[in-house]
Structure 1
């Protein structure tokens, strides 16, 4: 990945212009940051600007991470890592060579890696020195002006980069001019990649990955969707009214999120798609067919998630007992059927979800968990897909369904 057209040409100005043009072209396409950084660094090396290591930290809008980092080492490619929220309080940041740049509201810093006094306070500089580094340049390219930032926040959104050369004597004057010219263009391309990633992060967090990808690909109008066969999961927290009455708002939300960690968390770990949180209920699917699982695989994954949810519940309740808190419980129904997977609502406010008789039936099925005294119950359509020692709970008529159905309880987890 990098400039084409016979690059490098052996002409410094022409090669730097070629890298600049390539960055703009990448910004206009569907760019990804990791190969972009690798291609940029390889191109600099080919043009005669030796880069032995480069690190880019790109801020992101994500519920768990404040930024993604991309580390390039010449001859080794690059690796990525995530910076969690609150990382500015860690020892690693306190000892970062870039911290003084932030503290002094600067956009550039430089260290002579041949000077032991400059290297000593910063472990990252010692690592760069170990790669043969002679010079270090840090550049911050903000995506917002100071006027656009909230009071007390500096450079909330942007690309932070560091560049290490192993050239004897460090970066030359023309090397520094080239980096100062090109890094903003690199930041532009990274910003465009970030916008796509941010959109995906948001829709994934609020809608689930599959539904979010469908929306981003254009399924946004009321009625857009398709009929798909799925295993349908519907779980509901028990005694939620009692919990709501005895707990204050914050403690109730904490309990609710603990339950969701057990139920929805288990679904996601098993490869399912959480579609909605309906009050204190979880609606999820394990798609069958194109792009999904076989019926047997989908049922096996859903049952694995059910067992995992019960195991998580045991762990959560142990912690709650230790804290003198009321224990949690839930009921779960598992069913197989065709559902309408798409946008419902009104033209100006739509929601991506599943509808149809099978979706209604699984909610009715979950209601039988209290009546039967079993936390997990499944329909015969579900149990027929797995050769297991199911326990029949008898024939039941689900509300709104004409025919009686045989209901089963699954065996315990192995």
Structure 2
């Protein structure tokens, strides 16, 4: 291939790179640097993230090898990866760091033994400055005995401003995507980014609906310290939410101690939507929550779940510039009443007749618990409970790959690229 000039790489970064998927972008950059004469055998980009779960995410490039994706999770922050990383030195100093790998002791940085095993001779770490916030990092490695030359350093310096702009745009979009999804859910976030941002933009949907409600929470919250109340809610949410997500449901709201979720019928059909909702409910109720200690007395933590099938209006409601993306309608109100009845009837799981009908012929038995007057409805509401739990659970998924320390302040993970796309 013909050589590439530094100016050509800058032009590519400005004109083409912002539109590329992150893996294609990093691959294109790595090969262009080699065509410009840089003896590049390894390149890593590490970016600090604004995320509920991640402190940093990154991507590593090696010629003729698959792109590698990395995460540095909140759960890993006390394990010392970052403190043993050359990235920390660069972040603290704001200066470039160069290492002759052969002459660097293995215990100087966590990544050194890995670099030596790869045959790396020269290692260069560069701070990557965005328009706001602390610096991010970019590392280059070569197996060449001559290391990186002054021309290689000049090439890196020449492309850094344009590269930082591209990465900041990509990180900003990823951060925006994740934060909106974190607070409103993935489904609403997708619609918001597709332009559904005006009050009154709503869609009628049919869905299996779930509402979980923590029993006795008001009384508990008046007797527990604020921090312990928040911890109780988080443990409860951890019992309810994973099953919803695993079954393809959408958590719409945390309403105090209640969780509102939907399982849309389209395109899978009403029976499949109800089956998924039922599996999610049973998975949640199978969780064992530790008792909460109040005045030295351990009290059990219990919650009830109501399931209903019906129609809802799904979209934007609110006033002025303050909107909420949610599901509203008569059937949502019915769902809330069913959830409340779990406590009155002392049942962990109740479903409506419309849910049983939509679930259809699955050989799943339900026990009728009679019809009961419900606030806001003119006619009594018939409710049912599953005769047994657990008959619709799918095969267990394989556990995710464990994290392995990379030594550069992040941990490797077999995640899909979208999970940490930058």
What's the TM-score, normalizing by structure 1? 0.87
CA contact (8 A) 2:17 2:25 kept: no
1:383 has 2:343 as partner:
no
Residue among 180, 190, 200 paired with 1:223: 200
CA contact (8 A) 1:58 1:159 kept: yes
Q: 1:371 to 1:144 in 2, by over 3 A?
A: same
Show the counterpart of 2:10.
20
Residue among 401, 404, 408 paired with 2:377: 401
CA contact (8 A) 1:67 1:82 kept: yes
Residue among 104, 109, 120 paired with 1:133: 120
Instruction: Give the distance between the partners of 1:97 and 1:222, measured in 2 at CA.
Output: 49
Show the counterpart of 2:79.
90
1:306 has 2:289 as partner:
no
Q: 1:298 to 1:289 in 2, by over 3 A?
A: same
Q: 1:257 to 1:123 in 2, by over 3 A?
A: closer
Q: 1:22 to 1:330 in 2, by over 3 A?
A: same
Residue among 88, 92, 98 paired with 1:110: 98
Shift of 1:296: 1.9
Superposed counterparts of 1:342-381, under 5 Å? 342-381=315-354
CA contact (8 A) 1:107 1:141 kept: no
Shift of 1:28: 4.6
Instruction: Give the distance between the partners of 2:293 and 2:366, measured in 1 at CA.
Output: 32
Residue among 199, 213, 216 paired with 2:176: 199
Q: 1:28 to 1:270 in 2, by over 3 A?
A: same
Shift of 1:365: 1.4
Show the counterpart of 1:71.
60
- Give the SS at the match of 1:93: coil
What's the TM-score, normalizing by structure 2? 0.85
RMSD: 2.2
Superposed counterparts of 1:196-275, under 5 Å? 196-275=173-252
CA contact (8 A) 1:57 1:159 kept: yes
1:180 has 2:173 as partner:
no
- Give the SS at the match of 1:94: coil
Instruction: Give the distance between the partners of 2:330 and 2:91, measured in 1 at CA.
Output: 57
Instruction: Give the distance between the partners of 1:74 and 1:237, measured in 2 at CA.
Output: 54
Shift of 1:173: 1.6
CA contact (8 A) 1:97 1:125 kept: no
- Structure 2 spans left out of the alignment, 5+ residues: 392-422
Residue among 319, 324, 328 paired with 2:301: 328
Show the counterpart of 1:122.
109
Show the counterpart of 1:295.
270
Instruction: Give the distance between the partners of 1:276 and 1:66, measured in 2 at CA.
Output: 25
Instruction: Give the distance between the partners of 1:307 and 1:295, measured in 2 at CA.
Output: 18
Show the counterpart of 2:414.
none
Shift of 1:165: 1.4
Instruction: Give the distance between the partners of 2:135 and 2:178, measured in 1 at CA.
Output: 17
- Give the SS at the match of 2:145: coil
Instruction: Give the distance between the partners of 1:367 and 1:84, measured in 2 at CA.
Output: 38
More helix by share: 1
- Give the SS at the match of 1:317: coil
The alignment covers a number of residue pairs equal to 386
CA contact (8 A) 2:213 2:259 kept: yes
- Give the SS at the match of 1:75: coil
Runs of 4+, deviation exceeding 6 Å:
none
- Structure 1 spans left out of the alignment, 5+ residues: 1-7, 146-155
- Give the SS at the match of 2:34: helix
Shift of 1:167: 2.5
